[in-house]
Chain A
Amino acid sequence: MAEAPNPLLSAPLSVINLGAELFAEALRQQEVPVVQVQWTPPAAQDDDLLDLLDTLL
C-alpha cells in the first residue's frame, strides 16, 4: 500500500529559523518565506551565578 505523500514536500513551507541566520538566508535565496528569530543558546552558568542574577537583574 502506497504511503500518503509527506505534506512537507508538497505544500508551501512555513519556516521559522531560530539562531544562526545563515540558514534563513539560504532559504530566502530560494524564495522560501522565512521568519528569523534572534536567539543564542543560554550561556552556561553555575547555579550560584543564576541565583545572583535573579537578585541583581
Chain B
Amino acid sequence: MTDLKTRIEEANGKAFDILRQGKPQIVDVAPAIEVVPGMKPNLILHSAPAIAFAEMCGPHRNGVIGAALFEGLAATAEEAEAKLLSGEIETAPCHHHATVGAGAGITSASTPMMVIENTTYGNRAYSCISEGGGLRLLKWGWYDQGVIDTLRWQADHFAPVLKAALAASGPIDLKNIISRAVEMGDECHNRSVASTFLFLKELYPHLAAMELTEDVRASIKFLVESEHFLLHAIMAGAKSMLMPAEGTEYSTMVTAMARNGVDFGIKVSGLGDQWFTAPANDVKGLFFRAEWGYEDAAPDLGDSSITETVGLGGFIQPCAPTVTQYVDGSLAEAIANTNEMFEICIGTNPDVRIPAMDFAPAPLGIDIRKVVKTGITPHIDTAITHKDGGLIGAGEVRAPIGCFQKALKAFGEKVQG
C-alpha cells in the first residue's frame, strides 16, 4: 500500500473511532437564541445546504415566511418576502450552527431546542422540538394561524415543562435508547415509535412528580399523541456524534448529508466545511391521499439524512420492516439494501444490531471512495413533501452520485497538490 493510501486508511480509522465512541445524551430544552451558536433575532435557519431565499423550493420559502410571522419580524407574508429578499431577515443552514432540522428545518430565535451533548467529547448539537403529528406543520413548509399558535404554545408552555422534567431526570442516554429501539421495530428515521416510548418511559416519572398544572397536563397529552417525538433528538444526537470527526486530515468519511429540496449536499471529514452538491432526487414512496402523486412532490429535502450518516434509517431498514410498505417492498429487499450499505462503509457499529440479519452490527461511516468506486449511493428513508408545502407521503430515495464524485475530485486535488 502506498504512503497516501496508508494515511487515508489511518485517518478513516481515527474518524470512524470518534464517530463510534460518541455518547449523545439529552440534557436540556431551551430557546434557540439562548443556546444555538451564532443565533440572532433576525436569523432563520433551514435544512442544508445553503441556498438564497429567491432560489428556495416551496416548502423552504413557506417555512421561512412562517417563521418570520411567528417571530413578529413581519406583519404579512409580503412584508416577510421583501425583508428576506433585501437581507433584513437573514437565512442560513442549520448545519452551520451545530443544528439539524427535519423537513424544511425551520428554526428561529424563539424555537425551543432539544440540547444534546456528546459526553465523550463534550460538544453539543441542537434540533427544534417536534411539532407533533400532522400533515401541515412548519417543518413541512406550511404555515397558518393554527401552526403559529402551536409554535407559540410550545415555546411558552410546553418547553418549560419539558425543561423542568429533564432537569429532574438528569441526562437521558440517547445512545442506549437507540440501541434498544432498533431491536423494537425502529430504524430511527421513518420510524421512531419505540425510541419515543423509551424516552417517555424515562420522562414520565418526573412529569408525574410535578404539580399537575394545566400546562403539565397539556404537555403530557401532547407527548402521548406525538409518537415520533424523539426523531429530532436522534438527529441532533447524530450531529453531535459527527461533529468531533470533522476536520480529520486525510479522512474520506462523510460527516453530513442534507437536502434543501433543490440540492443534495455532503460534507467530508478531510475537506472541512465545504458542501459538495448535486441536484436532489425525487423520493419514491406512498402518498397518503389518492389526490396526491409524484407531480405534486418537492424533490428530496431535510437534514434528517443525518441519521443515515450515522448508519441508521435507510441503512438499517430490516430493523423496521414496516417502513418498506411505503415502497411496496419486502424484508428481503430491505436486507439487500443494507448489504449494499456495507459495501460503502468503513466499518460496523456493535451498538446498533439488526435482529433480522442475525443481529449483525449496522454499517457505519460512509467512505466517498467506496461510493464512487461501486456506484452505490446512500439509501435514505424519508418523507415526501408537497411542492407548495405540507406532508403528503413517505418513502425512500438515493443520494445522487454527483456530490460524491465532486468531493472525491476535491479530495484528490487537496492531498496530491
**Do A43 and B372 form a contact, CB below 8 Å, given A48-B409, A56-B252, A57-B5?**
yes
Contact check, A40 vs B369: say whether CB atoms are below 8 A apart: no
Contact check, B339 vs A55: say whether CB atoms are below 8 A apart: no
Report B159 CB to chain A, min CB distance, Å. 47
Contact check, B8 vs A56: say whether CB atoms are below 8 A apart: yes
Identify B408's interface contact among A38, A41, A56, CB under 8 A: A56
**How many chain B residues touch A (Cβ–Cβ < 8 Å)?**
22
Identify B409's interface contact among A21, A38, A44, A49, CB under 8 A: A49
Please name all residues of chain A whose beta carbon is closer than 8 Å to the beta carbon of B409 when the two chains form the complex. Answer: 48-49, 52
Complex Cα distance A21/B340, Å? 13
Please name all residues of chain A whose beta carbon is closer than 8 Å to the beta carbon of B77 when the two chains form the complex. Answer: none
Please name all residues of chain A whose beta carbon is closer than 8 Å to the beta carbon of B25 when the two chains form the complex. Answer: none
Q: Does B198 contact A (CB under 8 A)?
A: no
Which of B87-95, B116-124, B373-381, B387-395 sits within the interface? Answer: B373-381
Q: Give the residue name and chain of the B residue nearest to A56 (CB).
A: B369
User: What 0/1 readout, one digit per residue, does chain B (350-392) give for beta carbons within 8 Å of chain A?
Assistant: 0000000000000000000110111110000000000000000
Contact check, B374 vs A56: say whether CB atoms are below 8 A apart: no
Q: Does B405 contact A (CB under 8 A)?
A: yes
Please name all residues of chain B whose beta carbon is closer than 8 Å to the beta carbon of A7 when the two chains form the complex. Answer: none
Complex Cα distance A42/B343, Å? 13
User: What 0/1 readout, one digit per residue, does chain A (13-57) give for beta carbons within 8 Å of chain B?
Assistant: 000000001000000000000000010111111001100110111
The residues of B with any CB-CB pair to A shorter than 8 Å are 2, 4-5, 8, 252, 336, 339, 369-370, 372-376, 401, 405, 408-409, 411-412, 415-416
The residues of A with any CB-CB pair to B shorter than 8 Å are 21, 38, 40-45, 48-49, 52-53, 55-57
